[in-house]
């Protein structure tokens, strides 16, 4: 754990430092392709919890000031601190992209070395960079030389089971100027399954002197506590867990601070789900586009609800916004508005020693949002 990390009443981190930026609470909304746009981040911030938000990843080669790609980097004036993530394999191109996002006012520049998508890896970006550690380090060095704002890196534990080199690569990135490292326990080949092994996160904590943020199946309070206790990391990063339970970041933050954890009523869940639909419709205007964005959230949001599979299928088969609203109102009408809905708790992280393999079920969190 980094010396500047603040420990709360439960003996767990409540904040950490990235140079002069305080991330408090020590809970980060992960960058997710096609998900963490400004609309989604606004809703999560309104519910509370994140000490840092991250944009979805942005291709460095397509980024130009004021163009369509730069829209992916939009953030609200009061969204602070905010990290903008870029990906690519050409050091000069990454450096230029970093200059642009610094000019846009980003607090932090993050380099993507973790995306598992075939499209990105085929271009030798994302987690494919873990196979070329020297190139990855050169990219960090080039970006560091180009900007004055803090620089961070997000990676996986490795590219595959034979090359779990996150501790070594984290050290190389630190030596070239990275000021915090986020590590997902999965390898690129694991995609959304695999055997849960957080040993490489724990090793990186011991290897580097900058903050390390643990990522991967952090979906609720128990899984967040397990990640922190098993690895000694400085904070946790929540990805798909924020879609299945948008209050998860707030609940984790409250637990870390020693506070009572908020309970969510049926009516609050109904209103939040419809808020996603309404905001996406206002943002994307076209009904089809809004429904596409909404359904990506809805298939995760419904995962833990009673009879959620039936509800999920109804939403995903809806052809219009009115259909979605009707199915949502019908589903929640069986609950009293102030009733607390009994959610399933599929936390993948049990209290096992760091590095103990545990089966991570693919079905526990529906795929469809590539963590960046």
For the segment 29-38, what is each residue's pLDDT rounded down to a tens digit? 999 988 999 9
pLDDT higher than 50, residue 362 = no
C-alpha 139/C-alpha 31 separation (Å) is 19
Residue 99's closest CA among 70, 57, 130, 128?
70
Q: How many CA atoms within 13 Å lie on the side-chain side of 56?
A: 18
pLDDT higher than 50, residue 361 = no
84, 107 contact by CB (below 8 A):
no
How crowded is residue 226: how many other Cβ atoms within 10 Å of its Cβ?
Answer: 24
Burial call 338-372: b when 16+ CB within 10 Å, e when fewer: eeebebeebbbbeeeebbeeeebeeebbbebbbbb
Is 233 tagged catalytic? no
Element (H, E) at 333: none
Q: Which residue carries 């291709």 as its tokens? A: 59
pLDDT on residue 326: 98
- For 197-248, the pLDDT digits (tens) are 999 999 999 999 999 999 999 999 999 999 999 999 999 999 999 999 999 9
- For 58-90, the pLDDT digits (tens) are 999 888 877 888 888 999 999 999 999 999 999
CA-CA-CA-CA dihedral for 129, 227, 245, 250, to nearest 10:
-110
Show the tokens assigned to 63. Answer: 């980024």
Mean per-residue pLDDT over the chain, rounded: 91
Architecture of domain 6-256: Alpha-Beta Barrel (3.20)
Backbone angles phi, psi at 368, to 5 degrees: 135, -10
C-alpha 258/C-alpha 261 separation (Å) is 9
pTM, full prediction: 0.91
pLDDT higher than 50, residue 329 = yes
Provide the 8-state DSSP code for 60: G
Of the residues 54, 115, 121, 233, only one is catalytic, namely 115
- Distances, alpha carbon 116 to alpha carbons 101, 120, 256, 338, 369, in Å: 23, 7, 30, 41, 11
pLDDT on residue 351: 46
């Amino acid at each position: 754990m980094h010396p500047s990390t603040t420990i709360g009443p439960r003996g767990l981190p409540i904040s950490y430092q990235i140079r002069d930026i305080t991330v408090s609470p020590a809970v980060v909304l992960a960058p997710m392709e096609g998900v963490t746009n400004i609309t989604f981040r606004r809703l999560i911030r309104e519910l509370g919890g994140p000490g840092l938000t991250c944009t979805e990843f942005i291709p460095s080669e397509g980024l130009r000031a004021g163009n369509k790609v730069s829209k992916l980097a939009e953030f609200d004036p009061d969204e602070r601190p905010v990290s903008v993530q870029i990906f690519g394999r050409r050091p000069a191109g990454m450096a230029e992209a970093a200059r642009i996002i610094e000019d846009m006012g980003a607090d932090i520049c993050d380099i993507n070395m973790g995306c598992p998508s075939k499209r990105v890896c085929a271009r030798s970006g994302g987690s494919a960079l873990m196979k070329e550690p020297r190139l990855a380090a050169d990219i960090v060095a080039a970006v560091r030389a180009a900007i004055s704002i803090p620089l961070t890196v997000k990676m996986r534990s490795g590219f595959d089971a034979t090359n779990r080199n996150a501790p070594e690569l984290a050290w190389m990135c630190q030596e070239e100027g990275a000021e915090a490292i986020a590590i997902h326990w999965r390898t690129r080949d694991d995609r959304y399954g695999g055997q849960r092994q957080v040993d490489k996160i724990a090793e990186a904590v011991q290897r580097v002197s900058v903050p390390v943020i643990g990522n991967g199946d952090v979906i609720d309070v128990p899984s967040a506590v397990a990640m922190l206790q098993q690895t000694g990391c400085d904070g946790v990063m929540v990805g798909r867990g924020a879609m299945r339970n948008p209050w998860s970041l707030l609940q984790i933050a409250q637990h870390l601070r020693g506070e009572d954890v908020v309970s969510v009523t049926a009516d609050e869940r109904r209103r939040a789900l419809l808020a996603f639909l309404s905001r996406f419709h206002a943002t994307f205007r076209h009904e089809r586009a809004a429904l596409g964005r909404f359904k990506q959230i809805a298939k995760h949001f419904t995962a833990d609800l009673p009879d959620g599979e039936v509800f999920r299928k109804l939403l995903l088969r809806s052809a219009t916004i009115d259909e979605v609203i009707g199915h949502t109102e019908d589903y929640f009408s069986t609950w009293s508005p102030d009733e607390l809905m009994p959610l399933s708790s599929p936390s993948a992280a049990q209290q096992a020693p760091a590095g103990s393999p545990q089966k991570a079920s693919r079905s526990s969190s529906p795929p469809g949002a590539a963590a960046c």
